[in-house]
Amino acid sequence: MADYEALRQAVITGKVAQAKEHIQAALGRGEKAQAILDEGLIPAMDVVGQKFSRCEYYVPEMLIAGRAMQAGIALIRPLLAEGGGKPRGKVVLGTVKGDLHDIGKNLVGLMLQGGGFEVVDLGNDVKPERFVEAVQKNQPNFVMMSALLTTTMLSMKETVDALQKAGLRQSVRVAVGGAPVTQRFCEEIGADFYAANATGAVTKAKELLPSA
């Protein structure tokens, strides 16, 4: 049975070159891309998330680890597609209209990728209609919205309403997060769940969409 501990450690410590070497070596030994993802990269990002939750890691360490994870995924993505591997789910992600903050959103995207999800990142300052278009185009399982200002979080409700108006609301679960956002606000605007941080968002997404 293949041992991916060295790969996991490379990702956890953010060593891009080492992570790529371990992956290339594994592929050279005939190991499957899906196994590298499921037993190497995803568990590594689980550990990263746990370290963050325990305040052993901060945002910089998460981003550095995420960078190594993304480098690994880039290597195996073509092979995953060839092998018929499917992502766990698909998420459309963005910071809402008028808001340029994206660190939290980027962290959520990283952790979702690390959790086996396909992420469509719309960036920041995303108008409701762009979220709607992205849902129509990508048919995601989740829409996840981030806002860091009390003045911009109201766009979250506009987006929920836009999805409703477009007849898409029932086809997707809507999550919200960001500094001024609360569980109560989530309920008030008709979103499905609130996540206090990136690891919470991924945990909830996995709970709602367990892998086969």
Partner 1 sequence: MNRQFYLDLARAGHRLPIGVDLVLHEQPNPEAIVRDGQALGQVVAETARRYRTPLAIARMDLQIEKAVLLEILGVPAAEAAHYHFPTDPGAAAVARLAAGLPPVNLGLQAQIDAVGYIAAHTDLVPIGMTIGPFSLMTKLLKDPITPLYMAGSGIMAEDDADVALVGRALELGLRVILFSVAAQVRAGAKAVFMAEPAASVVYVSPNQIQAGSDIFERYVIAADRQVKALLDRHGVDLIFHCCGELNEYMVRQFTTLEPVILSLGSSRRLWEDAAVVPKHIVLYGNLPSKHFYSDAVITTEQVEAQACDLLYRMGRAGHPFILGSECDILHVSGSGETIRKKVAAFLGCRCEGPRPIRRYGEGRGTEQDTPAQ
Residues 122-141 that bind partner 1 (CB under 8 A): 124-125
User: Among 135, 93, 35, which Cα is nearest to 22's?
Assistant: 35
Backbone phi, psi, residue 172, to 5°? -145, 145
CB of 212 to partner 1, least distance (A): 34
Least distance (Å) from partner 1 to the CB of residue 91? Answer: 20
Burial 14-32 (b: 16+ CB within 10 A, else e): bbbebbbebbeebeeeebb
196 belongs to the binding site for partner 1 (CB under 8 A): no
Closest separation in Å from C-beta 125 to partner 1: 7
- How many helices and strands (H and E) does the chain possess? 10, 5
Q: Which stretch binds partner 1 (CB under 8 A): 26-34, 78-86, 98-106, 162-170?
A: 98-106
Subset of residues 34 to 63 that bind partner 1, contact rule: CB under 8 A: 57-61, 63
Of the candidates 39, 45, 75, which has an alpha carbon nearest to the alpha carbon of residue 61? 45
- What does the binding site for partner 1 look like in residue numbers (CB under 8 A)? 57-61, 63-64, 67, 100, 103, 106, 124-125, 149-151, 154, 179-180, 182, 184-185, 188
